[in-house]
Amino acid sequence: MRLDGKSAIVTGASQGIGAAIAEAYAKAGAEVLITARSQEKLDAVASGIRAAGGRAETFAGDLKQPGTAAEVVDAAVTAFGKLDILAHSAGATKYGDFFDLTDADFEDGFALKYYGAVRMTRAAWPHLMKTKGCILNVIGVGARVSEKNFAIGGSVNSALTNFTKAMADRGVQDGVRVNAIHPGPVLTPRIRQRVEFIMREEGIDEAAALAKMEANWRVMRLGKPEDIANLAVFAVSEAGNLLQGSVIDMDGGATRAL
Ligand SMILES: NC(=O)c1ccc[n+]([C@@H]2O[C@H](COP(=O)([O-])OP(=O)(O)OC[C@H]3O[C@@H](n4cnc5c(N)ncnc54)[C@H](OP(=O)(O)O)[C@@H]3O)[C@@H](O)[C@H]2O)c1
C-alpha cells in the first residue's frame, strides 16, 4: 500500500475528504498537488504535509471554470514531470425542496463535481496512459439511494458513477484504472455544520447530536475523512491493482440497496 515515487493530483483538497486523501497519499510516499479555490486553506494543508516530511504543491482555482482542469494538470506535470494518480473530491450541491431549486442550482451542482471530473479526466488521461495510472472519484451514496431533498446531489452522483464506469471501460484499453468511492455521512466541515445546527436547535451536546445523526442514518458510526482516505490509498496502490470500474460504498452500513 505504499505510493513511493508516485505523483498525484487531489481536487477539493483544501479541507474534508480531499485534504485527508492528500495527506494519506503523501504519508504513503506520493508527491501531491492539491487544488481548491482557497489558497489560504491549501497552504495550511500543504504546510502540514511538508511538516510531516512530504512534498506538496498547491494550485488555487475554480474547477467550475472550463479551463481550470487543464491548468491543474499542467501545473502537476510541470512540477513532477509525470502524473500517476488523479483523485477527484471537489463537490458541493444545493440541498432542499425540489420546488425551491432553479435550473441554475442544478447547473451549478453539475458544473463542479460532474464536469470537474469530466474535464480533469480529459486533461489527465494522456499522462495517466503513459504511467498506467489511476483515477479515483469520490462520489457519494446518494448515487444509489434517492432522497427528496437531495435531487441535485443524487443526480450528479449517479451521473458521475456512470461516467466512472464508462472511463473504466475505456481504461481497460488504455491501461488506466478508474474507480470510485461512495462515502456515507463523514464528519467534514460541511457535516459538522449540521451537527452544530442540531446542538443549537435541540439544546443537546455534541455527543448527543452525533448519536442522533447516527440513529437517523442507521449507521455503525459517522465516518471520519481518514476512513475514506485509507480506502483511497488502497484503491490506487498496487494492492488494489485489480480494482477496475469498482464503486465501493464506505458508509457504515447506510446503503441497504444492492
Ligand atoms: N462529507 C460527507 O458526508 C459526504 C458524503 C457523501 C459524499 N461526499 C462527497 O465527497 C466529496 C468531498 O466532500 P467533503 O465533505 O470533503 O466536502 P467539503 O468539506 O465541503 O470540501 C469540498 C472541497 O471542494 C472544494 N471546492 C468547492 N467548490 C469548489 C470550486 N468551485 N472549485 C474548486 N474546488 C472547490 C472546497 O474548497 P474551496 O472552498 O477552497 O474551493 C473543498 O476543498 C464531495 O463531492 C461530497 O459530495 C461527502
Q: List, in order, residues 6 or more apart from 243 with CB less than 8 Å away.
A: 177, 179, 235
The residue behind cell 477496475 is 244
The secondary structure of 6-56 as a DSSP string is: -EEEEESTTSHHHHHHHHHHHHTT-EEEEEES-HHHHHHHHHHHHHTT--E
Phi, psi of 99 (to 5 degrees): -75, -5
Rounded to the nearest angstrom, the distance between the alpha carbon of 190 and the centre of ligand 1 is 8
The confidence score (pLDDT) of residue 191 equals: 86
Rounded to the nearest angstrom, the distance between the alpha carbon of 90 and the centre of ligand 1 is 4
The confidence score (pLDDT) of residue 151 equals: 96
Residue nearest to atom 23 of ligand 1 (CA): 12
The confidence score (pLDDT) of residue 194 equals: 85
| Separation of alpha carbons 44 and 61, rounded Å | 16
Residue nearest to atom 20 of ligand 1 (CA): 190
Rounded to the nearest angstrom, the distance between the alpha carbon of 189 and the centre of ligand 1 is 9
Rounded to the nearest angstrom, the distance between the alpha carbon of 92 and the centre of ligand 1 is 5
The confidence score (pLDDT) of residue 203 equals: 95
> Which parts of the chain register pLDDT below 70?
none
Task: List, chain by chain if needed, residues with CB within 6 Å of any ligand 1 atom.
Answer: 12-18, 36-38, 41, 62-64, 89-92, 112-113, 138, 140, 183, 185-186, 188-191
| Separation of alpha carbons 56 and 62, rounded Å | 19
Residue nearest to atom 1 of ligand 1 (CA): 186
Rounded to the nearest angstrom, the distance between the alpha carbon of 153 and the centre of ligand 1 is 12
Atom of ligand 1 nearest to the CA of 189: 19
- Helix residue spans in 81-205 (DSSP H): 103-109, 115-131, 151-174, 189-202
The confidence score (pLDDT) of residue 258 equals: 87
Phi, psi of 204 (to 5 degrees): -115, 165
